[in-house]
Chains A and B, each alone.
Chain A
Amino acid sequence: MSDSRVSEFVGHCKAIEQAGDGGKSSFQQMDNLVEDRMTKVYQVPYQTIALMPAEPDANNEKQLRGLYHQLAQHLVDLGYLSRKAFIAYGKHHKKILEEPSLLQDVLRGVQQYLKEEEDAEIVDLLRETGREINLLWLEQYLALVVEGISKYTSFDGSLEPPANYQVGDVSCYGRSLAFRFRVLFAMDEAIEDAYVFRKDMLKYKLSMENILQHGMRDLDIAATDMDEVTTIDADFWELITDIDALMDVYFRSKPAEVQNKLYAIAYRLGANRSIKGQELIVLDKKPSRRRSGNPLQWTQNRLKRAKAITHGGYAYIGFRLMQVKLWQTSFYVGVIDGDWGWQSHEAALAAQREELRHLEKPKNERLASLKKKFVKRSLFVGKKRRERNAELPWAAINMEALHAVLKNYCKSVRSREVAAESEVSELELMARLQSEHNISDEQLDTAVLDEKGLDKVYDQVSDRTERRVAYPNQKNRSFFRGLIRGIGRIAKWIVSAVRKVLGVVFAFAKAIIDRIRKGIQLFFKGFRYFSHLILGRPIGSAEQIAPGVNKYRIYATQYKLDFDAINFVPKDFTKAGVRRHKAILIEMEKSLFFFIDVVIFVIKAIAELGKGGWVWLGLQIFKFFMAGVKDLLDKGKRIVEVA
């Protein structure tokens, strides 16, 4: 049974749509519902527009802090925030909403990012809402900024090649390129601190192209005149922003000695979850297929006999590519450093297990059997022997087979298969959970909104700045279709305890939470305009009389229902205090049109809907808010004019 207050919310939307004398009362009731219940359910605070010392409400801020964390992670990846500032921010992240001074470095990073951003939607948003970027502005448009910046660090092909990029440009693209080289190709220490792709880094591009096109052939950097290179071709952009395209090219460009041979990432499993001697190996002297026609499989003896591919960067890149793909599909939450440790090993095992589970109840047994064989071949793990001094067991990952398995969970946005497939939305997945697995709204709300068991994943958080969590881009149509493969496991997680949540469960939960936190953050910020302008909630700012003294000078404005207004200024006002309060009024004026249009659009859309739980409502708000924003910015018109 779902929470009746969700129906209450939809009811208020209907009542407001029908307006008449009931309009104000419905706005008022919705305002109460938002403040009393929804802040707790969604863990996003509903603050009125005020620079006021507010009571700390840490229990209801988790998702808003999560959104700020996502932003900080993108900023540090792209060099808009220093590593030192990121670590300092991380240490105090629970207090950022209480003490806005802790967000100053993040704000400076955002200001720089927005100066460099050329994406039409963000440019339109800035044009619409003003160019002065302060904490008040960021607080309102946080979700849209996070959504906008995320494409520069994604590997799913959602970043379009730039129209006018010049090597050395200090731009979002220049930073994105440097980030990709740091992640995939940090062979040289000089790259570790490169946050903008510079001309002297072209040698790494050439080196990467050599590896990807010619395997381990010796590099001939001198043959290319670097001075003449001023741009990066679109093909390379498409490659470097798309992990599947990179892996496909990688597999095609195998060194001659690996062609038509069995090859794998191999290592040995030591005591206490340790990994010994990671290598890319190739099995020589044997055909790649048995006489039966079945592909050759790894065994302990074959692994012992195999030869390591040691020279050149081919092996080096391979480990990183595999980690990025496991990370993109949520099986891996470690650092992408090419160091194949226990976390990487378990991620590969989890992906194989997930796929085998999916094939357990096949509709077509023969096809399922073939697929099972293929999936099993993706990974070999030798058995531990009990006797003393026994050799450590080997493990081997067939990279091509594992990549094919992982593509079932998340494909490139540009993939032809994705274009041909029908889209599965988050709401359809939700509907299938209910119809096929009898999941109730309440069960779904409890599991998702309480992030059941996910804290175990986040326990591994360290003070390192490298990212661990990938968020699927909204444009990626393959994502929820991929999750259908693990729907049984997701259902099991919802109704009972699942020890290991990495993989589909983690991907599902964080994608849903990501949408809800963005949608609710925007909706709350938008709805408060109605709260101030229709319901008469005062707009206030305060300045502390002296540091450490719990007394404030209050500046306040109240708009009444007929828009008459009273401003109150303390007798001992300061110039700074008046300017701050005026800045709030200016900020409200700039964003007034934007939020009123989009919130009205959302209320109208929700009024037409049926019923569901809080997760359902959060996703609907996200969907309609994003649609409203897009419509508003795309058409360059107010929604009210086209309605």
Chain B
Amino acid sequence: MSFIKDLITLEVVTVSGTIDVSVNDVENRNVDDQKPMSVIDFDELFKRIQGEVSSQSKLRIIAATQINIDKDTYNFVSSDLSEAENLLADMHFKSVDLAMKSRAEIVARLKPNFTRKENPGN
């Protein structure tokens, strides 16, 4: 489980904005390509989101949450949300729930089930 490096804090951020996402060219795909593709290039999407968030240009932060290991929680919700945008805040907190539960469940399961088996000769 050492591959999960940072379990001290949990951070969830919800952003809204306009990002041009390339659509994969399904028609002209090389026939030798093995992987079935999604039509949307997600890798590209999230690379751009991360770039845009740090430059704080085209994206607007709707909500952000930080939960520390001692369960201290900091929530930020944009003060100028319209009524429709309140839905985004709901969705944000649902993703926080899922992040917390996933982390707790996966860590609880993988740790006792899969422990490194040392070679008796070592």
Contacts and interface: CB of A to CB of B under 8 A. Distances in A.
11 contacts: A16-B114, A538-B42, A550-B23, A556-B45, A558-B42, A562-B10, A563-B103, A565-B12, A567-B12, A568-B49, A596-B109
Given A569-B14, A573-B16, A600-B110, A50 B38 contact: yes
Of B13, B62, B109, chain A has the most CB atoms within 10 Å of the CB of: B109
Given A23-B1, A565-B95, A585-B95, A18 B36 contact: no
Interface stretch (A54-62, A370-378, A397-405): A54-62
B122 interface: no
A417 B19 CA distance: 68
Interface string B1-40: 1111111011111111111010110100000001111111
A582 B35 contact: no
Contact of B35 (A35, A533, A542): A35
Contacts of A557: 95
B4 A561 contact: yes
A223 B117 CA distance: 75
Most buried by B among A48, A558, A563, A569: A563
Contact of A563 (B10, B90, B114): B10
Interface string A24-65: 110000000001100100000100101011110100100000
A581 B46 contact: no
Interface string B90-111: 1110111111111101101110
Given A19-B115, A566-B46, A585 B94 contact: yes
Contact of B16 (A534, A571, A581): A571
Contacts of B121: none
A557 B42 CA distance: 10
Interface in A571-592: 571-573, 575, 578-579, 581-582, 585-586, 588-589, 592
A593 B106 CA distance: 9
A19 B111 CA distance: 9
Nearest to B43: A538
A596 B38 contact: no
Contact of A567 (B91, B114, B115): B91
Contacts of B35: 35-36
Residue from the set A17, A538, A562 with the largest chain B CB neighbour count within 10 Å: A562
B115 to A, nearest CB: 6
Contact of B10 (A16, A538, A558, A564): A564
Tier of interface size on chain A: 35 or more
Interface in A315-354: none
Given A36-B35, A600-B109, 9 more contacts: A19-B116, A54-B38, A55-B37, A552-B39, A563-B102, A567-B15, A571-B16, A572-B18, A586-B94
Interface residues of B, number: 64
Contacts of A571: 16-18, 60
A597 B106 CA distance: 9
A24 B4 CA distance: 9
Interface string A535-567: 001101010000000101010111101111111
A36 B37 contact: no
A190 interface: no
Interface of A: 16-21, 23-25, 35-36, 39, 45, 48, 50, 52-55, 57, 60, 533-534, 537-538, 540, 542, 550, 552, 554, 556-559, 561-573, 575, 578-579, 581-582, 585-586, 588-589, 592-593, 596-597, 600, 604, 640, 643
B38 A585 contact: no
Please provide the 4 A-B residue pairs with the shortest distance between their CB atoms, ordered closest to farther. A24-B3, A567-B14, A19-B114, A562-B6
Interface string B38-78: 11101001100110010000001010000000000000000
A597 B110 CA distance: 10
B120 interface: no
A596 B18 CA distance: 35
A1 B43 CA distance: 38
A553 to B, nearest CB: 10
A569 B114 contact: no
Contact of B88 (A36, A54, A578, A640): A578
A565 B13 contact: yes
Contacts of B13: 565-567
A600 B113 contact: yes
Most chain B beta-carbon neighbours within 10 Å: one of A48, A57, A588:
A588
Contacts of A48: 38
A24 B12 CA distance: 22
B46 A538 contact: yes
